Structure 1
C-alpha cells in the first residue's frame, strides 16, 4: 500500500482502476464500486479529504 501524504496516488498504476465504455463516466474503481468523470483518486479526495486507501499496484507483467 502506498503511504499517505508522501506520494500522489496514480490511478493508472492501481489494479482496481479501469476505463469504462460510458462517455459520461469514463473512469471506474472496482475497489470502491463507482464510475466518474474524474480520476477516482480525485473524487475520493474531494469527498473524504484523504488519499485513496484502496490503492494496490498492478501486478508486473512477466
Structure 2
C-alpha cells in the first residue's frame, strides 16, 4: 500500500474505539472490531483501499 492509498481511520466518521483488549478499534460501516487499523484489515482482505471512508464533520 503506497502513501496515496493510505486512509487514516481516525478521521473517518465510521471509526470507533472499544474497551475490548483484543479488538480496540472498529468500523461501523463494515461492522467489525479489530486490533489493527480497520483500513488495513479492509486492504488485506480485498486488496483495495477502503471505499467507505467519509471524513468526520467538524
TM-score by length of 1: 0.84
Task: State the number of aligned residues.
Answer: 56
Question: Which 5+ residue runs of structure 1 have no aligned equivalent?
Answer: none
Q: Could you say what secondary structure the match of 1:47 adopts?
A: helix
The answer to whether the 8 Å contact 2:12/2:56 transfers is yes
* Greater C-alpha radius of gyration: 1
**Which residue number in structure 1 is paired with residue 49 of structure 2?**
51
Structure 1 consecutive aligned stretches of length 4 or more whose deviation exceeds 3 Å: none
TM-score by length of 2: 0.90
**Which residue number in structure 1 is paired with residue 30 of structure 2?**
32
CA distance in 1, matches of 2:40, 2:27: 12
Considering only aligned residues, what root-mean-square deviation do their CA atoms show, in Å? 1.3
Question: Which 5+ residue runs of structure 2 have no aligned equivalent?
Answer: none
